C-alpha cells in the first residue's frame, strides 16, 4: 500500500464540492472490519471499480503557481501498475514497488514521488481497507460551517515506507463520499516535525463515469486541526476519465527506461 507518498493537502468543503445527483449512488457488497468504511467504499462503488481492469484520465496539476503535471495517467484497478505519460513525451511507470522512467527524466526521487503520489490521490477511496490500515473516529468533523463524518487512519508497523503517517478523512454524512483527507508525511523527518505542517486534499465536483463517482477537481491546502483548511496551495483538473482494458505489455518498461531507486 503506497500511502507513504500521500503528501500535502486539505480540508474545508463548500456545498459546491458535492453533486446532489451522486447521493443515490450505492454499491452492494463490502465487508471490512469497520462498518463506516464499508459505507464509504460502497458509496464510491469500490467493488464495481475493481472489476473495471484499468482507469485512465487526463490531469493538469498546479502547485505554488507552477504547473507540476500535465498528461495522462493510467492505473490498474488493483493499484499494482501505473503509467504517467507527460505532455513532453516523458514517461513514468510503476510495477508494484519498482519505478521506471524514460531517458528524458533525470531526477529519480522526483519520479518516484510522482509515480505514487498522484496515483494514490486518485485511488484513495478504493484503498481504505488495505492491509495494515487502522481506523478510529475523529472527534471534530467540522470544516468551516459544515459537519462531516470524520475518521482517523493510522497504520500497523511496517506498513508502507512511512507507517507513522496518519490521515484524517472527512466524508459527507448523506452521500458518504469522501470530501477531504488531511495528513502528515514523516518520510523525511519525525512525527513531531511532520505535525507542525499537515496538509490536505479536497475532492470536489463529483460526477458519475460509467457508474463510478469520480471527483473532477482536487484542491490542495494547508490544514490545521483547529482551523480546517487555511491556505490553498494548488489544484488539479481531472478529465476524460475512462475504464478500459490494456495490452499485456502496456505497463512494461522499454529497454531504454531506467529504474528509479
Q: Is residue 257 part of a domain?
A: no
User: Facing residues of 169 across strands?
Assistant: 151, 181
Based on its alpha-carbon atoms, the radius of gyration of the chain, rounded to whole angstroms, reads: 17
pLDDT in tens, 41-80: 999 999 999 999 999 999 999 999 999 999 999 999 999 9
Is residue 160's pLDDT more than 90? Answer: no
Q: Is residue 258 part of a domain?
A: no
Q: Which domain CATH number covers 43?
A: 2.50.20
Q: Is residue 93 part of a domain?
A: yes
pLDDT in tens, 173-230: 999 999 999 988 776 678 788 788 899 999 999 999 999 999 999 999 999 988 888 9
Q: Is residue 8 part of a domain?
A: yes
Overall average pLDDT of the 31-43 stretch: 86
Instruction: Report the alpha-carbon distance of residue 86 to residue 109 in Å, rounded.
Output: 17
Query: What residues have CB less than 8 Å from 149, skipping those under 6 apart?
Result: 36, 141, 170, 171, 172, 173, 176
What is the DSSP-derived secondary structure letter of residue 10?
Answer: -
Residue range of the domain that includes 208: 3-245
Overall average pLDDT of the 79-95 stretch: 97
| Residue 216 vs residues 106, 139, 210, 248: alpha-carbon distances, Å | 31, 29, 14, 29
Q: Is residue 251 part of a domain?
A: no
When divided into structural domains, the chain yields a total of 1
Q: Is residue 260 part of a domain?
A: no
Q: How confident is the model at residue 6, as a pLDDT?
A: 37
CB 42 within 8 A of CB 30: yes
Instruction: Report the alpha-carbon distance of residue 196 to residue 235 in Å, rounded.
Output: 22
User: Facing residues of 199 across strands?
Assistant: 183, 222
Amino acid at each position: 500500500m503506497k500511502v507513504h507518498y500521500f503528501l500535502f493537502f486539505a480540508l474545508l468543503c463548500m456545498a459546491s464540492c458535492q453533486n446532489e445527483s451522486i447521493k443515490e449512488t450505492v454499491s452492494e457488497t463490502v465487508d471490512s472490519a469497520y462498518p463506516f468504511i464499508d459505507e464509504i467504499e460502497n458509496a464510491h462503488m469500490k467493488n464495481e471499480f475493481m472489476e473495471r481492469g484499468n482507469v485512465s484520465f487526463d490531469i493538469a496539476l498546479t502547485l505554488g503557481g507552477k504547473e507540476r503535471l500535465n498528461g495522462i495517467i493510467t492505473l490498474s484497478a488493483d493499484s499494482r501498475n501505473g503509467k504517467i505519460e507527460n505532455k513532453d513525451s516523458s514517461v513514468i511507470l510503476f510495477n508494484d514497488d519498482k519505478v521506471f522512467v524514460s531517458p528524458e527524466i533525470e531526477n529519480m526521487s522526483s519520479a518516484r514521488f510522482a509515480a505514487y503520489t498522484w496515483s494514490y490521490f486518485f485511488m484513495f477511496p478504493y484503498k481504505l481497507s488495505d492491509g495494515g490500515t487502522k481506523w478510529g473516529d475523529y472527534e471534530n468533523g467540522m470544516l468551516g460551517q459544515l459537519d462531516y463524518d470524520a475518521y482517523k487512519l493510522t497504520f500497523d508497523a511496517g506498513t508502507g515506507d512511512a507507517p507513522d503517517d496518519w490521515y484524517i478523512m472527512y466524508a459527507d454524512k448523506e452521500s458518504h463520499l469522501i470530501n477531504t483527507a488531511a495528513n502528515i508525511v514523516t518520510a523525511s523527518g519525525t512525527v513531531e516535525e511532520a505535525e507542525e505542517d499537515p496538509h490536505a486534499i479536497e475532492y470536489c465536483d463529483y460526477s458519475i463515469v460509467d457508474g463510478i463517482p469520480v471527483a473532477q477537481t482536487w484542491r490542495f491546502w494547508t490544514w490545521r486541526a483547529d482551523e480546517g483548511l487555511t491556505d490553498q496551495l494548488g489544484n488539479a483538473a481531472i478529465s476524460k476519465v475512462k475504464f478500459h482494458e490494456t495490452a499485456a505489455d502496456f505497463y512494461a518498461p522499454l529497454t531504454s527506461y531506467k529504474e528509479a531507486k
